[in-house]
């Protein structure tokens, strides 16, 4: 098996699907000759031609509209938003158009669109390039939201997203692009959307998280283990819809949980997970489910990122609070 | 604002294209579209039909029997003329006022009424009818048109995508983005702006410093033309030309039709007397597309009062039938909505489906 970075796994997934289905089209700003600003589409235009992998004019709303139109005429668009901080420019196309296509047409049309975009913080971008806006998408009925945390997951989830007949927002944490390598099988394999993955088993507390925070949570779990606390780390992988089955099974086993997200606290994914646990498993809980998040401010400029983002130490501290409740 | 000579020179090139003047006389014989007598009569029939339909729709709306309705009287030539130039395989991406075009493209009248009522069957386009649901977000259809046109070109469909917006829609960023994408990819698209002079209440003079909307095509590098939108022959001729240009690979076209809506913006409480004078109404009614074309046909002995009455009666009959059919449509259920969110329901909707099934069976 090949060792790949997450960005290589993403390129590999795109290659597999471009080969697999001639209706798959990959487009966005700089994705052609340049291979994308992060090189996610490196070499794909050369391999599949300008008809299949192409640059767009610099206009996110136009890219979204193009994807909607291609979707209803029989194509499977994989569009890139260069940075997810630019999603506001294309929000109508995603939330009002793609997400409602099936309903508005009474099931006649659909939007089998994959919206790929780098997101998240910690890599010292210019302002408005880093953010955790996944909550906006998760609150949009009609789209699925997928966030991988490893190269293996990234490839299998992206292939599933492209094959899905409804719009899928697929967010790639910039910090994870090249931070480590992992084993990635060659050829095609899929990981089902809407399923979480237990990244570390444990019996004392469930740490429910996604994206880059999976790695901070794993590090926190190691620290906790030194003190005899065995934490279970659940990687949601899909944040909409949530895999409640896996979450509840874990909470019923550990009786304690914290939810960790890089995004701001209010109205976020973590709040939703807490509410779902309360709905379904409150009698299994020995302590309140607490959250580790960033504060309810706008995303900071680069030099304040490190102090703003949640760290593994915050996770350790919050886990202990719940254990000692 | 005193415009530079250079700018004045550019703007003055966008003259209004006309074939029939207000008296129904042909003023541009060589531009006449090649139409049989039957086709000429069909154009008139459709305009009369649409005028009667509009009157009935307004009345049904006032009785609380129609739902959302955006009146079309005054714009018949712009609507019918552009659609008449299309072939069945062409795609229409309408705005919410563009219901006549989609009905003449194959959407059943009762379905249009169901759309007005906010029933999901309103958006269920029949097989082979290449029409998108009327767009509510001003401009969203314009970027989508670039995508549909690209799709048609890639699938070698020998078809164009045509979209409609108004003078207000031409101020949206999506208007430029859609035209610019279509031009950059050279895809078979036609962008129609029915400039009816008011975006709800805001006059076109306040929308832009541009003298014409047609000239906005230049910025996208595509062909632009301004047409007398009360002259169905001019509208038809320019749309035919645009379609041919697009299919020959010579790029998209922006068509601005100068027209006027006699009625309110929609039937949801708009009062045009707040922003328009009756003098302006009178001025535009003198240009009426039906009056003008009737004169032209009468001059050729192609139209009579009897024929007109026949169309009026037919329209009334069809509308009665269509309303009856629309009334028989099944009541809307939350479970129908849940069912249409995704191809495969995620667990949260599966759970909510169960809740609503129980509720609905009570």
User: Is B343 close to A64, i.e. CB distance below 8 A?
Assistant: no
Q: Which residues on B lie below 8 Å from A105 (Cβ)?
A: 123-125, 133
Counted residue by residue, chain A has a size of 325
Residues A6 and A316: their CA atoms lie apart, in Å, by: 26
Closest CA to B182 of B174, B170, B193: B174
Q: Which of B144, B145, B150, B165 to mutate to test the interface with A (most CBs of A within 10 A)?
A: B144
3-state secondary structure of B191: strand
Residues A194, B181: C-beta atoms closer than 8 Å = no
All residues of chain A having their beta carbon less than 8 Å from the beta carbon of residue B146 are: 62, 65-66, 69
User: Alpha-carbon distance A107 to B131, whole Å?
Assistant: 14
Contact, A15 vs A7, CB < 8 A? Answer: no
**Is A57 in contact with B140 (Cβ distance < 8 A)?**
no
Using CA coordinates, name the residue in chain A closest to B142: A65
In this prediction, the residues of chain B whose per-residue pLDDT falls under 70 are none
- The CA–CA distances, whole Å, from B126 to A21, B67, B123, B326 equal 27, 22, 9, 15
Gap between the Cα atoms of B308 and A315, Å rounded: 79
Strand runs labelled E in B129-203:
161-166, 189-195, 198-199, 202-203
Does B5-331 carry CATH code 3.40.50.970?
yes
Q: What angle do CA B269, B272, B273 make, to 5 degrees?
A: 115
Complete DSSP assignment for B27-56: S-GGG-----HHHHHHHHHHHHHHHHHHHH
Instruction: Work out whether strand B189-195 and strand B161-166 pair parallel, antiparallel, or are unpaired.
Output: parallel
Query: To which H or E segment does residue A274 belong?
Result: helix A269-281
Name chain B contacts of A245, Cβ cutoff 8 Å. Answer: 347
Which of A62, A68, A142 is facing B341, going by the closest CB pair?
A142
**Residue A167: closest C-alpha in chain B:** B342
Question: Chain B residues with CB-CB distance to A under 8 A?
Answer: 91, 120-125, 132-133, 137, 140, 142-152, 154-155, 161, 173-174, 177-178, 180-181, 184, 337, 340-343, 346-349
3-state SS record for A141-191: CCCEEECCCCHHHHHHHHHHHHHCCCCEEEEEEHHHCCCCCEEECCCCCCC
Q: Which of A249, A198, A202 is nearest to A230 (CA)?
A: A202
Q: Among candidates B107, B110, B172, B105, which has minimal Cα distance to B142?
A: B172
B86: left (phi over 0), alpha (psi -120 to 50) or beta: beta
Q: Helix, strand or coil for residue A85?
A: helix
Q: Which of A15, A76, A129, A199 is catalytic?
A: A129
* Structure token pair of residue B350: 């599966």
Nearest Cα neighbor of A118 from A169, A66, A75, A78 is A169
Identify residues of A whose CB sits under 8 angstroms from chain B CBs.
51, 56-57, 59, 61-62, 64-75, 92-93, 96-97, 102-110, 141-142, 144, 164-166, 194, 241-245
DSSP A110: -
| Cis peptide bond upstream of B219, omega within 30 | no
Q: How would DSSP label each residue in B266-292?
A: -TTT--GGGT--HHHHHHHHTT-HHHH
Domain-wise residue ranges, chain B: 5-331, 332-362
* Total count of residues recorded for chain B: 362
Is A129 tagged catalytic? yes
pTM metric for this prediction? 0.97
Q: Assess contact for B139 and B173: CB atoms under 8 A.
A: yes
pLDDT the model gives residue A1: 82
| B189 neighbourhood in chain A, CB within 8 Å | none
Catalytic positions of B: 261, 265, 275
Measured distance CA(A229)–CA(A236) in Å, rounded: 22
Nearest CB to B150: which of A69, A93, A103? A69
Question: Which residues of chain A fall short of a pLDDT of 70?
Answer: none
Nearest CA-CA distance, residue B123 and chain A, Å:
4
Place of tokens 């632009």: B224
Q: Which of B91, B144, B347 sits opposite A68 (nearest CB)?
A: B144
**B230 within 8 A of B287, measured Cβ to Cβ:** yes
Query: How far does the CA of residue A93 sit from the closest CA of chain B (Å)?
Result: 7
| 8 A C-beta contact, residue B128 and residue B106 | yes
Backbone angles phi, psi at B224, to 5 degrees: -130, 145
* Contact residues for A172 (Cβ-Cβ < 8 A; gap 6+): A6, A7, A10, A40, A116, A117, A118, A119, A148, A154
Backbone angles phi, psi at A138, to 5 degrees: -65, -25
Nearest Cα neighbor of B159 from B222, B223, B88, B103 is B88
Tokens of B203: 């006059």
* A24 close to A162: Cβ distance less than 8 angstroms: yes
pLDDT score recorded for residue B47: 98
Shortest distance between the Cα of B118 and any Cα of chain A, in A, equals: 10
Of B125, B144, B155, the CB nearest to A69: B144
Among A108, A199, A115, which residue's Cα sits nearest to residue A161? A115
> DSSP states of B82-144 as a string?
HHHT--TTSEEE-BTT-HHHHHHTT--HHHHHHHHTT-GGGG-PPTT--BPPPB-STTHHHHH
| Alpha carbon distance B307, B45 (integer Å) | 9
List CB contacts (< 8 A) between B147 and chain A.
65-73
Of B122, B178, B348, the CB nearest to A241: B348
């Amino acid at each position: 098996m090949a060792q790949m970075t997450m960005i290589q796994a993403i390129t590999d997934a795109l290659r597999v699907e471009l080969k697999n289905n001639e209706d798959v089209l990959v487009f966005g700003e700089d994705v052609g000759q340049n291979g994308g600003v992060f090189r996610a589409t490196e070499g794909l235009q050369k391999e599949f031609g300008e008809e299949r992998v192409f640059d767009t004019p610099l206009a996110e709303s136009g890219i979204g509209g193009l994807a909607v139109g291609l979707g209803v005429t029989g194509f499977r668009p994989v569009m890139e938003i260069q940075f997810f901080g630019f999603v506001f420019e294309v929000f109508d196309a995603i939330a009002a158009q793609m997400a409602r296509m099936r309903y508005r047409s009474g099931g006649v049309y659909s939007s089998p669109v994959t919206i790929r975009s780098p997101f998240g913080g910690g890599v010292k971008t210019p302002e408005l390039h880093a953010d955790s806006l996944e909550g906006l998408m998760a609150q949009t009925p009609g789209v699925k939201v997928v966030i991988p945390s490893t190269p293996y997951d990234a490839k299998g989830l992206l292939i599933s997203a492209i094959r899905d007949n409804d719009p899928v927002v697929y967010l790639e944490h910039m910090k994870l692009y090249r931070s480590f390598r992992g084993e990635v099988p060659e050829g095609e394999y899929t990981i089902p959307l809407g399923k979480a993955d237990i990244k570390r088993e444990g019996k004392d507390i469930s740490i429910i998280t996604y994206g880059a925070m999976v790695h901070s949570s794993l590090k926190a779990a190691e620290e906790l283990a030194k003190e005899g606390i065995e934490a279970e780390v659940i990687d949601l992988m899909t944040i909409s819809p949530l895999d409640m089955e896996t979450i509840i099974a874990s909470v019923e086993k550990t009786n304690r949980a914290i939810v960790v997200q890089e995004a701001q606290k209010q109205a976020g994914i973590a709040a939703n997970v807490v509410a779902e646990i309360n709905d379904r498993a409150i009698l299994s809980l020995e302590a309140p489910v607490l959250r580790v998040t960033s504060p309810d401010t706008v995303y900071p400029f680069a030099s304040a990122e490190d102090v703003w983002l949640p760290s593994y130490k915050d996770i350790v501290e919050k886990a202990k609070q719940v254990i000692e409740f | 604002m005193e415009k530079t000579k250079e700018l004045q020179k550019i703007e003055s090139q966008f003259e209004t294209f006309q074939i029939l003047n207000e008296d129904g006389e042909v003023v541009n014989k060589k531009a006449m579209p090649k139409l049989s007598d039957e086709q000429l009569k069909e154009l008139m029939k459709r305009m009369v039909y649409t005028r009667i339909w509009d009157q009935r729709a307004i009345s049904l709306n006032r009785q609380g029997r129609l739902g959302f309705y955006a009146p079309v009287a005054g714009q018949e030539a712009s609507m019918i003329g552009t659609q008449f130039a299309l072939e069945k395989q062409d795609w229409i991406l309408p705005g919410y006022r563009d219901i006549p075009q989609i009905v003449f493209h194959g959407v059943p009248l009762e379905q249009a009424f169901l759309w007005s009522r906010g029933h999901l069957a309103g958006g269920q386009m029949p097989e082979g009818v290449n029409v998108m649901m009327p767009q509510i977000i001003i401009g969203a259809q314009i970027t989508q048109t670039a995508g549909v046109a690209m799709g048609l070109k890639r699938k070698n469909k020998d078809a164009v995508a045509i979209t409609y917006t108004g003078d207000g829609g031409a101020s949206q960023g999506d208007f430029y983005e859609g035209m610019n994408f279509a031009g950059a990819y050279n895809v078979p698209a036609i962008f129609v702006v029915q400039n009816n002079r008011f975006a709800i209440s805001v006059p076109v003079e306040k929308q832009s410093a541009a003298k014409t909307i047609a000239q906005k095509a230049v910025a996208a590098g595509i062909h632009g033309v301004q047409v007398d939108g009360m002259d169905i022959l001019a509208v038809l001729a320019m749309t035919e030309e645009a379609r041919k240009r697009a299919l020959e690979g010579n790029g998209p076209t922006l068509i601005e039709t100068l027209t006027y809506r006699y009625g309110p913006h929609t039937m949801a409480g708009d009062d045009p007397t707040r922003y328009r004078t009756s003098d302006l109404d009178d001025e535009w009614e003198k240009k009426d597309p039906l009056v003008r074309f009737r004169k032209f046909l009468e001059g050729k002995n192609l139209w009579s009062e009897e024929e007109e009455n026949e169309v009026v009666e037919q329209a009334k009959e069809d509308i009665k039938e269509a309303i009856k059919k629309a009334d028989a449509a099944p009541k809307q259920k939350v479970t129908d909505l849940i069912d249409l969110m995704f191809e495969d329901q995620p667990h949260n909707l599966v759970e909510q489906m169960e809740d609503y099934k129980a509720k609905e069976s009570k």
